Amino acid sequence: MLMRLAWRNLWRQKRRTLLTASALALALFLSLMTRSFQEGSYSANIENAAKFYTGLIQLQHPEFHTSNSIDDVLPEDENYIQRAKETENVERVLPRIESVALAAAGERSKGVLVLGVDPVKEDEYSNISAKLVKGDFIEPDGKGVLVGESLARYLQVSVGDELVLYGQGYRGQTAAGLYTISGVLHFPLQQLDNQLVYMPIKAAQALYSTQNLVTNWVIDVKALSELDLTVSALNNEYAPNAVVKDWQQLSPELAQQILMDRAGGIFLVYVLYGIVGFGLFATILMMTLERQREFAVMLATGLVRSKLALLLFIESTFISLLGLVLGLLVSAPFLAYFYFNPLEITGEAGQLMIDSGFEPIVPVSVEPALFINQIVIVLGLMVLCLVYPMLRVARLNVATALKGGAHAH
């Protein structure tokens, strides 16, 4: 009976009901669009930054992060890494040797970061060969190296020239080797372009005398949203002999940047909901004040106050659900369109993204959690708006309301 009554009451004031539901729908639409574009661009930034250097997850020796020493290593062993490969959501694992050395060519020398990688797996993951501006990609069993464009310019070397690498190897051994430059890479990140030397992992293990040992295993995941679960699963497998670090610990600057930007976006969405909330509150209050006489008659004829409050609650729920359905129906085609046809960035900004190795698009995230969050906020807003009208009904003075008193409470 209450449901039927609530439904009828709504359509006695069609315009007001539709305006309120539309305001809710508009707020839901705008907040979903804002948050979807925001989260989509964050995911793209995280994955792009990870692919070029750190990876999304790294498995390291517990001391490696602080020492960066070639002595703090892990086994490059199929049995050892098999547990990571079998972990749910893990897409691929890549072995790496990461250390420092002095690079010299002719009269010039510079401290460099040496990255020993599996050329085939690394190229599948980060498409490094696409960054080549001169020469060829490295071969798994070769002794060729790739250098950043800025580093090549500083050392005055090019493809075919020789590069001497000199540093400290495993357990105090001397690391020294002569390598031919196979290719020159253009790195999107200037600090990497200035100091990175890529080489096949076998050559890096020979240089640093680490044999079947690596400084880290880079782990790529299928779904970024499941990253935390994957990190805990890997921790259960490898702690305490190895530590699992995610991209936030590996790239704290990027994590900080995203955190601040996300906070700004969420604040704007809350401001939007605050404005809509006032509209919803005014509507529900008007619905209550206009019908004080009607409520008094219902109470006088034996309706319990709690039932009356429930009636108000049902009416407000109907308006909110109507707003939610409208909002989702309007948002779905837009989000679906932009998901399959992302906005392209053109002009100088687009060219800058291409030069940085990023796709010049604005991707959209359609994670279910985004939708659930916004729906919960709308329903929470409605409950908040109901508090005062409910108190009003609870204190309603039947005699004064029946006489048509303005302040019948």
Domain end (from 178, 209, 241): 241
**Which residue in 91, 338, 52 sits closest to 187, CA to CA?**
52
Domain membership flag for residue 172: yes
Domain membership flag for residue 250: no
CB 204 within 8 A of CB 240: no
Residue 354 pLDDT exceeds 80: no
Q: Categorize the per-residue pLDDT at 378 as very low, low, confident or very high, splitting at 50, 70 and 90.
A: confident
Domain membership flag for residue 122: yes
Q: Are residues 293 and 209 in the same domain?
A: no
Torsion region of 4: left, alpha or beta (phi above 0 gives left; psi -120 to 50 gives alpha): alpha
CB 138 within 8 A of CB 199: yes
pLDDT of residue 406: 47
Q: Are residues 310 and 387 in the same domain?
A: yes
CA distances, 333 to each of 341, 342, 373, 405 (Å): 12, 13, 19, 49
Q: Are residues 94 and 185 in the same domain?
A: yes
Q: Are residues 45 and 70 in the same domain?
A: no
Domain membership flag for residue 192: yes
Residue 91 pLDDT exceeds 90: yes
Domain membership flag for residue 409: no
Domain end (from 213, 241, 269): 241
User: Which domain does 146 fall in, by range?
Assistant: 62-241
Q: Are residues 339 and 235 in the same domain?
A: no
**Which residue in 386, 324, 316, 358 sits closest to 127, CA to CA?**
358
Q: Are residues 22 and 140 in the same domain?
A: no
pLDDT digits (tens, 9 = 90+) for 116-152: 999 999 999 988 888 899 999 999 999 999 999 999 9
Q: Are residues 378 and 261 in the same domain?
A: yes
Total tally of structural domains belonging to the chain: 2
Q: Are residues 11 and 135 in the same domain?
A: no
Q: Are residues 212 and 262 in the same domain?
A: no
Domain membership flag for residue 54: no
Residue 80 pLDDT exceeds 70: yes
CA distances, 301 to each of 3, 7, 297, 298, 320 (Å): 19, 21, 6, 5, 30
Q: How much of the chain exceeds pLDDT 90, in percent?
A: 49
Which residues, in sequence order, are bridge partners of residue 344?
A: 361
Q: Are residues 35 and 106 in the same domain?
A: no
Q: Categorize the per-residue pLDDT at 21 as very low, low, confident or very high, splitting at 50, 70 and 90.
A: confident
Domain membership flag for residue 288: yes
Q: How far is CA 381 from the centre of its chain?
A: 26
Domain membership flag for residue 408: no
CB 89 within 8 A of CB 234: no
| Strand, helix or coil for residue 270 | helix
Domain end (from 241, 265, 292): 241
pLDDT digits (tens, 9 = 90+) for 239-257: 899 999 999 998 888 889 8
Q: Are residues 209 and 280 in the same domain?
A: no
